Amino acid sequence: MKITKIEVLKVKTARPTWRPVYCRIYTDEGIYGDGEAALAYGRAADAGFAAVKEFASLVIGMDPLKNEVIWDKLYKTTFWGQNGGPVIFAAIGAIDMALWDIKGKYFNVPVHALLGGARRDKLRSYASQLQNGWENNKEDYVFQYTPEDFADAARKAVAEGYDAVKFDFFEKKPDRGAFDTEDRRCFVLPKDLHMMEDRLAAVREAVGPEVDIIAEAHSRMDAPGAIRYAKILEKYDVMFFEEPDTPTPYMTKYIADQVNIPLASGERVYGRWQFVPYFEDRSLQVIQPDLGNCGGFTEVKKICDMAHAYDVAVQAHICASPLSTTAAIHLESVIPNFVIHEHHIVNRITYNMGLTTVDEQPVNGYLAVPNAPGLGNEISEQAYKQADTFAVVE
């Protein structure tokens, strides 16, 4: 079996800053596979599209079942591959995801069977980024401002069966403005710390002691502010503190040594080599690699296995289209150190719906593990119609 053609598309949605990037790999045996470069948000979708297109030209004619051979070729022969960042690893990841989809279809088994076999048929999930609301089928986020707003969003998620929720308590100001970079630098002001605690306290009171709360910082704080904030989080039995500052091993270790709360990071850490220092210094208790920008199944499974040797838990990062959600479910169903699945609010927004043939949504806070061959999910015709940038590599 040989790779004959690869289609690359960047999809335009109703939100200008939400631009999913996909690839579809075709073979001479009529089997195709789909993958996603998980750079839909932020400012890298155009670069991701270009990287997938360029990398695709290197695998035409190769055997799609040789995922390890292809992975090493993309990493070692592209010059910028080694120690690459999100764009490089997203391009590799999209191609790799599609290869595993092909492999599953070829052997007529789900991807999780090829990864070692599912050890669970459903995944505990948390409602993610509730500072943006927890509404269904909305056109965009519904921002929360007051402590009662935060409490109400948490109640909505718990009413649906979730027993874990995640908030960034430091994203929007009470007067409806947005905090800027300077607001979060160095020693966070006492008034802002009090504001965050008021919001957190309201959520804890609303959900009670049996619901886990995860605190997110999006790497926007500096270490002194993150430490002061973490001291507050400790009082409310927060499950873990995510991305307290810019992901670097030495500063993460510094923060970890000052606080008594598990730290999580990984959506901006790329490849097994970048994860090693965090394992060796024990600064992270939860890693969050993203299949769509950390090298795909071939790479992320290795990272998860490495983490297991250090008793580090895994929660795959997912803020992309439903194709990435399905891919993460396959991985998380297999690994022994899975802790919880992230179900981002973006999965409930209309502009991210209909882009794939399956839209995974938790029931009573749990996601079912699919058993169709391959990923069990594909790029939809709607996504192809919405593509504003398209390329065919042969």
Active site (catalytic) residues = 218, 317
The whole-angstrom separation of Cα 244 and Cα 226 is 6
Q: Please give the DSSP secondary-structure letter assigned to residue 85.
A: -
**Calpha distance 377→374 (Å, rounded):** 8
DSSP structure class, residue 221: B
Neighbours of 288 (CB within 10 A): 22
Cβ-contact 292, 324 below 8 angstroms: yes
Please tell me the distance from the alpha carbon of residue 83 to that of residue 187, in angstroms, as a whole number: 32
Q: What are phi and psi of 178, to 5 degrees?
A: -105, 140
CA dihedral 196, 283, 265, 93 (to 10 degrees): 180
**What are the Cα distances from residue 42, in Å, to 33, 39, 185?**
26, 7, 21
C-alpha distances out from residue 295 to 12, 80, 85, Å: 24, 14, 10
Q: H-helix or E-strand containing 368?
A: strand 366-368
Spatial contact of 216 and 129, defined as CB atoms under 8 Å apart = yes
